[in-house]
Amino acid sequence: MSHKTTPARRAAFFAALRETGNQTIAAERARVSRSWVQLQRSIDPRFKAEVAAAVAEAKARLSGAASGKPPAKWAAQEGEELVLRGGRGKRVQIARARLRQWTPRLEDRFIRALSATCNVKLACRAAGLSAPSAYKHRERWPAFAARWDAAIPAGWTNVDSALVTGAIALFDPRVDPPEALGRMSVDEAIRIVGLHQRRARGIGKWPGVRRG
């Protein structure tokens, strides 16, 4: 062990590694260097085995997660957002969010926009990410899919109300045009309401949800 790495820091490293499965994140949280970790792995078989066991424990704990949102303790590190990454045969770990990757903050922004408009494209635009990535993220994380499904009826209600208010505003200058319609065309809004009405009669799925 390096003279700069105390037993307490070593213990902190393994505690963080068992929670995150990520050596870099664990080393930063414990305030030990990555080079020290690599050196110990190369010269100490017991250390290497303990690292492998800690990573396996983290994978077992994180693999059953329904959401890509990490525990509150691991929401961010050094000012950067952390996410749950992996699955589908890949190692599951808590890691830094990559550029143009879904994060809990962007999920919230998407859901707020979807609840207001019932429009996936507009919600993706609000989150700054693409619709294909949204559907892929939905398939990966059941908790996000559940939030998406819950947002659709609320969004339809808002759009339906906005259409009524917009119609009134055409004839009454005292009524302000609704904000929701300002972000989409009237034709888009009418299409969304029509899809909802078809779904209410048992035809198709909620607007914004792909067929399986």
Q: What is the pLDDT of residues 125-135, one digit of tens each?
A: 999 999 999 99
B/e letters for 35-73, b = 16+ CB within 10 Å, e = fewer, are: ebbeebbeeeeebeebbeebbeebbeebeebebbbbeee
Q: Which of 75, 96, 117 is the last residue of a domain?
A: 96
**Angstrom distances, CA of residue 96 to CA of 81, 92, 166:** 6, 13, 44
Residue span of the structural domain in which 144 resides:
104-200
- Helix spans in the chain (H): 7-20, 23-30, 34-43, 45-62, 104-117, 120-127, 131-140, 142-171, 179-182, 186-200
In three-state secondary structure terms, 174 is coil
Flag whether 206 is in a domain. no
Does 160 have pLDDT greater than 70?
no
- pLDDT for res 91: 78
pLDDT, tens digit (0-9, with 9 covering 90-100), for 76-130:
999 999 999 876 667 789 999 998 899 999 999 999 999 888 889 889 999 999 9
Look at the chain and report how many structural domains it folds into: 2
For residue 212, tell me if it sits in a domain: no
User: What per-residue confidence (pLDDT) applies to 188?
Assistant: 59
Residue 18 lies in a domain: yes
Residue type, 144: F
User: Tell me, what's the pLDDT at 104?
Assistant: 94
Q: Which of 77, 96, 115 is the last residue of a domain?
A: 96
Tell whether the model's pLDDT for residue 71 goes beyond 50: yes
Kindly state whether residues 90 and 142 are assigned to the same domain.
no
Same domain? For 69 and 129 the reply is no
142 domain residue, yes or no: yes
Assign 212 a pLDDT band (cuts: 50, 70, 90). Answer: very low
pLDDT at residue 187 in the model:
58
Based on the domain organization, do 187 and 123 belong to the same domain?
yes
Looking at residue 141, its amino acid is: W
